[in-house]
Amino acid sequence: MNVAVLGVGNRARKYLSCLPEGVMVCCLVEPEEIRLRQAAARFGVPPEACFSSAGEFFAAPLPHIDAAIVAAPDRLHVPLSLGCVERGWHVLLEKPVAEDESGYRLLMEAAGKAGVHVGVCLEMRLHPYFKRIRELSVRLGRIVSIDHTEHIGPDRMAHTFVRGLWSQSEVSGPIFLSKCCHDADFLLWLTGSHGVGEVKSSGSLTLFRSDRAPLGAAERCIDCRLERRCPYSAVDLYSRRGEWISGFDVPEGHTLAEVIGRELKTGRYGRCVYHCDNDVFDTQLVTATLDGGLHLTMRLEGTSEREGRSTRIVGANGVLEADGGRIKLILNDLSNPVEEDYSALNDAPLHAGADAALVRDFFESIAVGREPSASLRSAFPGHLLCYKAGL
């Protein structure tokens, strides 16, 4: 199969590392010259098949293309995917699918009309820990309620949603959609729910704002006398610990250390978290009624000191609690209790193999003509919940 890749950022590079044998990258679209050049060298894509804009790509004479991987910025997901499906290409699409319900339905209709499949990158369905939660939840019988919390730790929150590219709702959409659409998908997939009834939502930006800055906090971490004690220090995150740096592009003739140094001095990622231009919420509470009266509560905690998810599922037969990789199932009759520990997978690469499984499933599905496991159709209810949550 020949595959075009639209957007060669961090997520696309992870998916490309998982390509099955026989899947060849034939075209690349990426506005950042460094990323485009490095990807072209890695996959042997000739200059005439490398494009700096989607307009240039779609207007060019192209080789035969079977499928496309779309991992561009969120607001481009629908227009780029439409350009692909209208040409008869299958699409592996990074989440979230669309900024709103109308865009999602438009893409679903176009894919159906073209007779192609769109797989959505919802890796929680294929992660061993979350798959096990779903398997065990069957023993609960009819599920009555679910309480789920997404804890966004200091590193992820600061890098992505305060300093980073998902910090402004006008550009990237609401944080609940961008961060929790895969959580919503997992919970609805777990319960088999397709209907989303009343949804209530409330949220706010409580911490990462200028009036919450500690006395004496500087505009940039590198200049701040409080930096050594701050859990959101960019100096500590990028320079001392060397984490969250895979998205920093290194030009030829330069080193990663030099790039980090410039970022700390003048770039967006060197700013104090209390003095950024972010506006997405750092806390949000969403409640929803699903099929059969099932009550769902979801919390987003961007001010958390921990990273991970905690879930409590109450069923007619008992309770399942999952937190940080540990699962505990207690049935009402106290028979066959379960305690399992998957915490060793928390830092495993490629989401503990879920990314590789997702890519493999997509290409296997289009090879045999079936829907991908996380198809546009099956992923719609989870996205719909996020759209109804709004804000």
Residue 32 lies in a domain: yes
User: 112 lies in which domain range?
Assistant: 2-116
* pLDDT for the residue numbered 390: 85
pLDDT, mean of residues 288-308: 95
Binned at pLDDT 50, 70 and 90, residue 83 comes out as: very high
**pLDDT for residue 391 is more than 80:** no
- The pair of structure tokens assigned to 340 is 């399992």
Tokens of 29: 């679209």
Q: Is 363 a member of any domain?
A: no
Q: How far apart are CA 232 and CA 236, in angstroms?
A: 8
Does any domain span residue 94? Answer: yes
Beta strands 118-120 and 143-151: pairing type?
unpaired
Which uninterrupted H or E stretch holds 338? strand 338-341
Looking at the domain assignment, is residue 337 inside a domain? yes
Instruction: Collect all residues with Cβ–Cβ distance below 8 Å to 49 and sequence separation of at least 6.
Output: 26, 27, 28, 62, 63
Q: What is the pLDDT of residues 314-363, one digit of tens each?
A: 999 999 999 999 999 999 998 889 999 999 999 899 999 999 999 999 99
Instruction: Report the number of secondary-structure helices (H) and strands (E) in the chain.
Output: 14, 14
Label residue 24 exposed, middle or buried (CB < 10 Å: 0-12, 13-18, 19+): middle
Q: Is residue 90 part of a domain?
A: yes
Q: Which of 91, 116, 141 is at the close of a domain?
A: 116
Residue at which a domain ends, from 116, 145, 164: 116
Domains of the chain: total: 3
Give the Cα separation of 138 and 329 in Å (integer).
11
Q: What is the CATH number of the domain that holds 307?
A: 3.30.360.10
Whether 180 and 34 share a structural domain = no
107-136 tens-digit pLDDT: 999 999 999 999 999 999 999 999 999 999
Q: CA triplet 269, 270, 272: central angle to 5 degrees? A: 105
Same domain, 128 and 183: yes
Would you say residue 358 lies in a domain?
no
Q: CATH number, domain at 69?
A: 3.40.50.720
- Percentage above 90 pLDDT, the chain: 95
In a domain, 357, yes or no: no
Of residues 120, 95, 122, the one with CA closest to residue 351: 122
Same domain, 219 and 264: yes
Task: Mark whether 198 and 104 lie in a shared domain.
Answer: no
Task: Tell me which residue has tokens 């207007």.
Answer: 59
Which one of 93, 116, 139 terminates a domain?
116
Q: Is residue 355, in this structure, part of any structural domain at all? A: no
Q: Is the pLDDT of residue 194 over 90?
A: no
Alpha helices, DSSP H, located in 115-163: 128-137, 154-156
pLDDT at 193 over 90: no
Q: What pLDDT score was predicted for residue 335?
A: 87
Mean pLDDT of 305-316: 96
Same domain, 239 and 133: no
Say whether both 163 and 266 belong to one domain.
no
**DSSP characters over 223-255:** G-TTGGG-TT-HIIIIIIS--S-TT----TT--
Residues 236 and 105 in one domain: no
